[in-house]
Structure 1
């Protein structure tokens, strides 16, 4: 009906034609497949090189950011020092210390933040600002001077136990309360403390130490958890600034321990100062002793914002220090309040710590 031939010979002839054509072009097909494989290999190599360039670009940008930040901090410090009048240092004190030694410990100043917390009736529970911080420090100085006279001290250890500035620990809440940025806070705090130590050195020789690593003073890059960059800490800037400002004051000795802690042999007892953000703080004398292969008799710590004393052995205690900032929003969220202030400890060579002066301030 269709006048078409569907016999075997018809298909055999067509297949033979296809087979001849396939055999004749088989080399061409093989060459095309090899070419495709080569092209795919080249594409993979190009992608690899592109990823290398992207990685190098990211590393280069990170390096540029870090250097720009370091240069900014350096410029801020240089400009700040150049714009400040020199400190007038007191006359050299040549007195010899008696058989007692003292440590003045203060902590958690959180300089740069400001807030006002009220109770259910609208009364102020605690208010804080840079001006209030300075007022509290001067009030504490008056108390310290009286104790120096009472105890007949010729020398005193002054330990700052961390969280000098508020920093950006809880970013969302703190940005609303910070008066100054991190760098400006560090510079203003360092300048105040340099003048404060200079005034204290009129009455007594001062050995000043400062804890370098504390959670609020860390330069915490946005999105990074705490301790991601432990060496990026504004405490280093603060102590360098103070050292520069007081370099001509022979009554002030700036001491830096390589561990970043405060440490001193006080009347034969090893005393260590840390910020206090450590595991099992109340029993940390033994852990510090094992870690540093040195018997630690006393540990002074901040961070908890209230005063405690835990006796761990004969002439051995862990002592936490009140904060200078006092009750803040975070403490209220936990339902905790505390007095503001510091502590001054007296040591002798027989019993270790023999007296504790509570330096409460408003």
Structure 2
């Protein structure tokens, strides 16, 4: 693994725009499921298609950066970066060895962040635990050894690849299910979402556990989109933001009639008003 890591050369940086300190932006990337190969009714996926979608995501994100005048961007990957070996059906979907997939997706995300840093300063956050990236050793049950997770390797790999890029700051908080992200004066918590037991009470339950105010909860896992106000805060609503999946619908989603398009989301936050806009970036 160490021998495979190569630090990326810095891109040709463009001049940064004047920062609008009253606003903040978060780009969410959830459920990449790299290494899966399948064809469903309205979607097809493979490692090659994954790379094509990252290229499309790059170009559309750059367009939004110019349109909105963004100078600083928080990028969050919300887990399930690989298809993994959650069950036998996942093994059948994998295009190559899982350990190779870990290296490949780490490189793909690193290159994406490196190219994006031409135009903005980036703070990169990665969720350290999800369900498909668990190794599930020695016949263990779901989350029984939750620290045995490939997301830990992916996050550290990306950090090493971008060590020379001063425009990318990698936050490595990979020891718990949740990560805390400050945005426009608010407290956002991001997690994969596989451990949630109901959306409507999610923020209230987490506030009780962590003994702190949480303004926004950002999750993946559900392979669909949802923006829902759960309660009223002092200056804005407290919301759960469920992000769409990068992989899109698959044969299982077709079988239960719950498919959705491959997409990522860019969220805008404003001081006092909170979450003020969302931009869906459809990838298929």
Which bin holds the TM-score, normalised by the shorter protein? over 0.9
Aligned counterpart in structure 1 of residue 269 of structure 2, from 334, 347, 350? 347
CA deviation map 1:137-191 (0-9, x unaligned): 11111111111112211100000000000101121x2222211222111110001
Q: State the Cα RMSD in Å.
A: 1.6
Q: Which residue in the other structure is 1:210 paired with?
A: 126
How far apart are the structure 1 equivalents of 2:85 and 2:16? 43
Structure 2 residue runs of 5 or longer lacking an equivalent are none
SS in 1 for 2:102: helix
- Normalising by the residue count of structure 2, what TM-score does the alignment of the two structures yield? 0.93
CA deviation map 1:104-151 (0-9, x unaligned): 001000001101123xxxxxx110001111111111111111111122
1:274/1:301 contact within 8 Å kept: yes
Aligned counterpart in structure 2 of residue 148 of structure 1, from 58, 65, 77? 65
How far apart are the structure 2 equivalents of 1:138 and 1:126? 18
User: Does 1:239 pair with 2:152?
Assistant: no
Q: Which residue in the other structure is 2:10 paired with?
A: 89
Structure 1 residue runs of 5 or longer lacking an equivalent are 1-76, 119-124
Aligned counterpart in structure 1 of residue 4 of structure 2, from 80, 83, 100? 80
How far apart are the structure 1 equivalents of 2:256 and 2:239? 27
User: Does 1:329 pair with 2:234?
Assistant: no
1:206/1:253 contact within 8 Å kept: yes
CA drift of 1:220 comes to 1.0
User: Does 1:110 pair with 2:33?
Assistant: yes
CA drift of 1:283 comes to 2.6
2:40/2:251 contact within 8 Å kept: yes
SS in 2 for 1:79: coil
CA deviation map 1:86-105 (0-9, x unaligned): 42213486655212110000
User: Does 1:356 pair with 2:273?
Assistant: no
Using CA pairs below 8 Å that are at least 6 residues apart, which structure has the higher relative contact order?
A: 2
2:86/2:135 contact within 8 Å kept: no
SS in 2 for 1:78: coil
Aligned counterpart in structure 1 of residue 225 of structure 2, from 307, 332, 356? 307
Q: 1:310 to 1:177 in 2, by over 3 A?
A: same
Count the aligned residue pairs. 276
SS in 2 for 1:175: helix
How far apart are the structure 2 equivalents of 1:100 and 1:106? 20
Greater share of helix: 1
Determine which structure has more spread, i.e. the larger CA radius of gyration.
1
Moved more, 154-163 or 175-184: 175-184
Q: Which residue in the other structure is 2:45 paired with?
A: 128
Greater share of strand: 2
CA drift of 1:237 comes to 0.5
CA drift of 1:282 comes to 3.3
Moved more, 152-161 or 214-223: 214-223
Give the alignment of 1:181-200 within 5 angstroms. 181-200=97-116
Give the alignment of 1:149-164 within 5 angstroms. 149-164=66-81
How far apart are the structure 2 equivalents of 1:186 and 1:232? 14
How far apart are the structure 1 equivalents of 2:244 and 2:43? 14
CA drift of 1:256 comes to 2.1
How far apart are the structure 1 equivalents of 2:84 and 2:94? 8
1:256/1:262 contact within 8 Å kept: no
SS in 2 for 1:324: coil
How far apart are the structure 2 equivalents of 1:167 and 1:329? 17
Moved more, 217-226 or 154-163: 217-226
How far apart are the structure 1 equivalents of 2:53 and 2:14? 27
Q: Which residue in the other structure is 1:4 paired with?
A: none
Q: Which residue in the other structure is 2:208 paired with?
A: 290
CA drift of 1:260 comes to 4.3
